Structure 1
């Protein structure tokens, strides 16, 4: 099959590069082929056509139920994590119906209900951190994100089951994603063999079994005592009915919770850590954001915080410069089609390259520079700025993730004086299917902010 702009590097070396450093892999490729190229990678189909031109991305995402179809078969890499019945593994009408069933839980008044919960969790976790002692912002953001999942998604506030999941979820994620080498088990199915609890895959399976048992027990118990006034997402999904009046099965609920748990925990924490990194790296941006936050007074309404334009621009720029995922979920060509002057035949697998789209100089001048003002100067289309993917396969939790990111960063910045404990620039590093800060963003708290003081005067960077 003739594919556009095949990279000339030997296939085996390409796959090693893709596993070790996907960002460097695509940055090198785009130097040779600016808009579209074909690479030999591992996972989601071994041969992928990468596209970063906005018009081509639009064609892929807006024709994803006819010419370009999202197929669960090319998402099989994720099956060991999210199971067979989560949204990501469904196709066609089943996917559409499940998405319609899930959407109400992530929008409207539900967000308002989660606002104070997110702020209170952030304040509680940061109040327990020591002054003048470096710590990992990424780890702390993971703790906040985990608590949001336990309370907003699962409805867990206390009890033995809650405490067990609080320990097991980050352990499971860490075991699966702690290094590119361990993550490679996802890309090589033949390595997914249970050789005992001391081997990486064996340890992952046993951790997953423990989480499965706890979730199954919670679902069974919740079925018996389901209260109509509960607002956590698990309860809402249990109450939801599709157009035919059918509810989700226990297995469907289980896999959807696993999907939300794994994807929501790691991805949201990562974007918040990147956001905090850039705010501390650029004190003038922190100063401007503090002035905007200060205009709301003490204890502002969470929805007012969410609507702040400069805060929105800061979060968008953090997701632009280092998106959590380098590409959209793959689409499979169904019929012969021309894309950017290249003929694509059926069964070709195509992805929109989010990272490269966000680095196009014709869209984002000086793309390496962190400059939130670009999002105030113009509005970007969903095919130019797509940190959560797009089309029918766009991230269903993006509203909650964005809401959480804004409230957490606003709460931290408005209440604490912070500085970077490590002045070296953070570089993106693969962690499973996520691109995270390689050094975890080491920061230090140097004091608390007094509301009566000028926000400008409180922006400090410690001398370490």
Structure 2
């Protein structure tokens, strides 16, 4: 049975285009076939069907584990990085059990407990920058996000092991910071250890050093587990399954590295994009500052997170620049019809977050940053899905949004910043995610004083 709207470009050309410029690849294909098309790309088997029509995405996500299943085998491309026991790769009851175990650490009181840490870290990192000297915003947001995730996962915020993690983890991701260096993940023939000067050799070297740290931390925690500790590692170690078995060291390692890498890399890029978008639009920045000023000099973090315009800015940022380009691939389990096309069992479907977020029928002038979209209308989970959907929706969504709002609010409240390069920042592949190609080069032009405070000082009687 023919697959829907097969792209005619030679398979190798498609694969190389997908690896080097995924946004350009998807946009070119969607110009030919706006709703659904079949591609020959690498990473999900030889053939995959891209879907970006909300109706089709709803059909896929509401039938998770029935007609369409997120089979871990389609995510095997990530195994060298996160391991075979990662929640990303696990299937069925194993996936469900691990997800249920991890979820409490990313919601409610646990997240609120990190609010002051996030604000203080942001102020600490930015206060060290000299005025009028250019810096890369993504480097700073990566520093903040990494320190938050190390606290969340290990309860670490200082000490030798904290410093070792803080040094090694960015090195692991920087190995694949560009499309060229990312290519070895997509072609197994390039996964050869040719020494630390080769991309794959450097990756293996850094991964081994991180694994040694992880296994050392696991061993020490097993020996002296504190039942009062609420970090994720402590929670996982204390876990017992239905027959009383603990997680093995390798299972723990794979879950930890998954949470760390997916938790800090994606959030760092989202926050950098936020700073870029806000400073691209002076009117947006001024409107946000007016909203922030209504909270006073020492606003409660939860009040910040409830601000409607700040929320709209974060949503619009994630719409235009979704850090993850697509939701988890799903595999057809029984003959189905999708958008008038018949699909056979075994067909791999890829719900495209990026293409859905740029549909002109949903978001007119989709490339234009307009936070008001999210004030004027509420979009369905199948029209706006920056964290994916269904049973594989991102576990860390709440923490990511919480952190993004607090960091942006803290920076904007205390500093005047400007973009150094007025040319548009382009999304570029960074491993399995999209990041700002140039890192968002900015400069601090001065400290900011809240307008109401300035008025109070100038009108206060002289004693």
TM-score by length of 1: 0.95
Instruction: Decide whether aligned partners of structure 1 residues 455 and 271 sit closer, same or farther in structure 2, where only a CA change above 3 A counts.
Output: farther
Indicate conservation of the 8 Å contact 2:292/2:304, yes or no.
Answer: yes
1:437-448 to structure 2, matched below 5 A, reads 437-448=436-447
1:196 shift after superposition:
2.2
Measure the CA separation in 2 of the matches of 1:96 and 1:30. 34
Unaligned segments of structure 1, at least 5 residues: 457-464
Instruction: Decide whether aligned partners of structure 1 residues 202 and 189 sit closer, same or farther in structure 2, where only a CA change above 3 A counts.
Output: same
Indicate conservation of the 8 Å contact 1:45/1:74, yes or no.
Answer: yes
Name the SS of the counterpart of 2:161 in structure 1.
helix
Measure the CA separation in 1 of the matches of 2:308 and 2:230. 28
Indicate conservation of the 8 Å contact 1:196/1:203, yes or no.
Answer: yes
Measure the CA separation in 2 of the matches of 1:365 and 1:2. 33
Name the SS of the counterpart of 2:39 in structure 1.
strand
1:101 shift after superposition:
0.7
Question: What is aligned with 2:316?
Answer: 317
Question: What is aligned with 2:31?
Answer: 31
Indicate conservation of the 8 Å contact 1:123/1:411, yes or no.
Answer: yes
1:39-78 to structure 2, matched below 5 A, reads 39-78=39-78
Measure the CA separation in 2 of the matches of 1:238 and 1:284. 49
Instruction: Decide whether aligned partners of structure 1 residues 119 and 241 sit closer, same or farther in structure 2, where only a CA change above 3 A counts.
Output: farther
Indicate conservation of the 8 Å contact 1:287/1:455, yes or no.
Answer: no
Measure the CA separation in 1 of the matches of 2:76 and 2:231. 29
Question: What is aligned with 1:114?
Answer: 114
1:209 shift after superposition:
0.5
1:50 shift after superposition:
0.5
Indicate conservation of the 8 Å contact 1:290/1:455, yes or no.
Answer: no
Which shifted more, 224-233 or 344-353?
A: 224-233
Indicate conservation of the 8 Å contact 1:291/1:455, yes or no.
Answer: no
Indicate conservation of the 8 Å contact 1:72/1:91, yes or no.
Answer: yes
Per-residue displacement from partner, 1:16-63 (whole Å, max 9, x unpaired)?
111110101111111111100001111122211001100100111111
Question: What is aligned with 1:459?
Answer: none
Unaligned segments of structure 2, at least 5 residues: 456-463
1:454 shift after superposition:
7.3
Matched, 1:405 2:404: yes
Name the SS of the counterpart of 2:129 in structure 1.
coil
Measure the CA separation in 1 of the matches of 2:203 and 2:251. 21
Name the SS of the counterpart of 1:386 in structure 2.
coil
Measure the CA separation in 2 of the matches of 1:138 and 1:310. 23
Matched, 1:207 2:203: no
Question: What is aligned with 2:273?
Answer: 274
Measure the CA separation in 1 of the matches of 2:388 and 2:51. 13
Question: What is aligned with 2:421?
Answer: 422
Name the SS of the counterpart of 2:45 in structure 1.
coil
Name the SS of the counterpart of 2:382 in structure 1.
coil
1:152 shift after superposition:
2.1
Question: What is aligned with 1:302?
Answer: 301
Name the SS of the counterpart of 1:89 in structure 2.
coil
1:239 shift after superposition:
3.4
1:71 shift after superposition:
0.8
Question: What is aligned with 1:460?
Answer: none
Measure the CA separation in 1 of the matches of 2:408 and 2:239. 32
TM-score by length of 2: 0.95
Measure the CA separation in 2 of the matches of 1:116 and 1:164. 24
